[in-house]
Structures are given as structure tokens and as C-alpha cells.
Structure 1
């Protein structure tokens, strides 16, 4: 038996919507422990029965009723999943009837449509943004004329994963620049960044947390020493204050929150799909 409640994100597509919504819901119950799993592409009755068997087995194994966050649009698939005996949470159900009434038309369920390639231009924009993020990672290229934004901070402050998220989810061309020891010797932005000051957003982090992250990357190195982390973070914060750069601590913030704050602060509005 286990004290971790089994939770499944089930979808006829990628499962991203179910997982995103489900995770947001579960974070409201910090006193509980959850064992989560995603079951994507449940788009046929056979796949639904396989998923139901997995869900049923988890309830038997843990002695706790499983929870299913479901975004399958086919009612037959949802009925089969419900045979697992789990608590079913249909993400779309509460919204369909009000929308049908308001719009004066019936829905037309399309399996796997939520994350399909609806707009090729938007899709290619996201792919191009990802390529941009990869080629402008860690200051590898400093031609920022085409950048939508530039994340600046000390090494391991969360710049790269945030840039990747912004590219994949919003199609934003995000570059990042790591402040080096030489950069941190002054209280001003590096000369190469000054022409793009209006695009810059600073990321800071608690030195103790930075120490932990760097220890995992380069154990017992000068780079990972707590004193190094403290001095670098302090110097970077001086630059941000002197240059009046908007800044956010990544210590306890998720990538999603960081990205939303950056976009809002810099006035960039991009639809995800």
C-alpha cells in the first residue's frame, strides 16, 4: 500500500492540456502526496480499455482510488475510462454546454485537435524561435537585432530553460546572455547589450540555491563555491538596479511563471496556439 494517491492525465492527444490543468489543481493540496502519470493518445476504444486497466491496477496496488484528469472529447472513450472506478474529472465538460448555448451551435468533437497543427505559420514561428534560442544561448551569438527579448543573469539562474519555453509555447525569439566575471567588475551593462536595453529582463536567484545547482554541475569547484555565488549575484543585482532593468528571482518561480512575468513586463503578447 502507498500513501501517494495515483493521478492520471489522460488525453486523446498529447496530454499537455490535461497535465497542465491537473498539475495546477493538485498544487492546491500541498498536504497530499500524489503519484502522477500521463497516458496520451487514447483515441480508440482499445486504447481506452488499456488505460482503464492501468488505472484500475494502480488503485488496487495503492489501496487508494485513482484520480483521472481527462481531456478525451469522445464520450464513448470517457465512458470506458470511467469503468476503471477512478474519480473522473472531465476538463471540457463544464464548459461545453454554456458555450453551445451562447454560440447557438453544437460542438463538433475532434480527437487530438487541441494540440494539432492548426496554423502552419504559427507552427513555423515556434520552430524558428526555438532555433533562435539555441543559436543565441549563453552568449554564443551577440547579434540581438532580431531578438524579441534578452534574458540576462549569472550562470545557472534559469535563462536557458526559460528561453526554450518562450520559444516553444509562445514563438518568442528569446536570447540569453550570462554575466561573466569581467562583466561583473562594473555596475553597468556590457557594451554589447546597451543598444538593446529595452529588450532586456534580468533573472536573479538566491545564492544558496545557486550554490546547490552549481554543485550538481561542477562539484567542489570555485564556480560552485557559496562565496562565488554570493558575490556574483550581488554584483549582478547592482547592475540591474543601476541600469533600471526589470528583474525577477527564479528561486521559487516555475518556468511558466517566469515566462509570463517577462512577457507582461516587456509588453509582448503572443498567443500560444
Structure 2
């Protein structure tokens, strides 16, 4: 089902509306069209979005689903006049919490409204820079500052996981590939020896790995199923010998992988 449109509207980035909305939509076997409309922070912009929502409903013959995160009290009433099914994501939770806490919320616009005052934001930026510098074993400099070092064969998901950990959790994640030369030697890359306790492994189903690699280098030995089986088996055997915990990325989302790593390597980051 793809003949239904979902709008994510916010006077900020819209990331919160989209994240929460997608979490709810994941409970249904549908694949709607997604439209994010960020920075709707004026009456004129609100009326423009209302017209877009209404026109979409007429065109599709079904009212759009609309997830809204809005701190602007002038804009919200206008958006609620649209012909879509509106879900006020923030107010659903804010009003009961105001009553529970016996205080008014600050109606702050967006998670990143004042990054200069947000320690967590600065930590995320530092972690992103760290992940980029230490991607794919590019640098061994300052590995002692890493929260986690991801290891595994090429194209098993180390880079996206490193960046997700940095962007979402401020985790300094390096990643180092395990390559045929490592398997010939029979031990981890030398740069990892002092940091083995920080290592966490990723593996992947060889057939899936072959598909991914063929998209990059079709028909190559690197992408062949036989070679992928060899590398995966060797990497898993090496991690087992070295006592490195690992999991398969084949059927897990980046969010699931990252949460498992946090639980095992940095459980303190799950409490803040």
C-alpha cells in the first residue's frame, strides 16, 4: 500500500515528528509516501502546508496522515484546520506531563534550538569528527580516546554504525576492517592489540555480503560468494579466538546494533 501520504510537520527540523511517526507507522504493513515539512514557523507557511495537505487528500482520495511537533501557538491552530488526520505528537505528552509536574513546559522549538549551550550537541560533533577520522582503519592516532572500536570484514556495516553511534549518542567509535592479510597472520591488526577490550565485532551472512559487494565491484573476486564465505568464517573464528563479542548485522537495524553495543560496551550511556 503506497497510495497514502504521511506528512511530518514542525517549526523545527521535523526529525522528532518523523522519528516518532515512523515508529508508530512501523506497526502497520503499509509503505506510505513521506513528506517532511520543517521550519513551518509562520502563519503564511502554515496556510501553505494546509493547502498542500488538502490538495494531496483530494488527489489521492484519502485523507493524509499528519504528525506535528509544534511549539508555535499561532501556527498550530491553522495546521489543525487541514483535512488530514492530525496527530499532535508533542501536546499528546506535554499536557499530561505539565499536570503531573505541576509546571508549564518551555515550548522550546526543536531539540537543537541552542547548540552553543548544549553539551550533548558538542559531544556529538566531536564524536562525528572522531568517527570520520578513524573510519576504515584510516588512523591509529588517539585510539585510546575511543569508546568502542568496531571490527569486521569490509561492508558488514561498521561505518554506518560508527556514525549512528556518534550522531545519536556522542559515542567515539572507530572502525577497523579485518582483511585477508590479517587472516593469513592469524591475529588482529597490530593497532588493535592495546584496545582489544574496546573492540566489538560485526559479522554478516555471506550471501548478503556478496550482494552488497557486487553493487560496488560487480563480478570481482572481492564480491564472490566463495570469497565472502571465506572472509566471514575467518573473521568470526578470529573474533572467537580473541574473545571479542560480535553480532550479525544481516537482519538487524542500525538502531538495534547500536543499542546492543551500548549495552555491552558503554551501559552508562543508556542512563543520562
TM-score (norm 1): 0.92
Partner residue, 1:22: 21
* Cα distance in 2 between the residues matched to 1:73 and 1:124: 24
Q: Which runs of 5+ in 1 are unaligned?
A: none
Partner residue, 1:86: 84
Distance 1:108 1:125, change over 3 A: closer
2:123 corresponds to 1:156: no
- Structure 1 position 167, deviation (Å): 1.3
2:43 corresponds to 1:66: no
1:167-199 CA deviation, whole Å, 9 max, x = no partner?
A: 122111110000111112355323321221111
* Cα distance in 2 between the residues matched to 1:270 and 1:98: 27
* Cα distance in 2 between the residues matched to 1:196 and 1:10: 44
Written as runs of structure 1 = structure 2, the 5 A alignment for 1:209-220 is 209-220=208-219
TM-score (norm 2): 0.93
2:96 corresponds to 1:115: no
- Structure 1 position 269, deviation (Å): 3.1
1:137-169 CA deviation, whole Å, 9 max, x = no partner?
A: 101112311111100010011111111111122
* Cα distance in 2 between the residues matched to 1:175 and 1:213: 22
Partner residue, 2:122: 124
Q: Which runs of 5+ in 2 are unaligned?
A: none
* Cα distance in 2 between the residues matched to 1:130 and 1:16: 18
* Cα distance in 2 between the residues matched to 1:200 and 1:168: 19
Over aligned residues, Cα RMSD in angstroms? Answer: 1.9
1:86-107 CA deviation, whole Å, 9 max, x = no partner?
A: 0001111222222112221122
3-state secondary structure, aligned to 2:128: helix
For the Cα contact (< 8 Å) 2:6–2:66, is it kept in 1?
yes
- Larger displacement relative to structure 2 (257-266 or 184-193): 184-193
Which portions of structure 1, spanning 4 or more consecutive aligned residues, are displaced by more than 6 angstroms? none
1:203-240 CA deviation, whole Å, 9 max, x = no partner?
A: 11111111111111111111111111111111111112
How many equivalent residue pairs? 270
3-state secondary structure, aligned to 1:221: coil
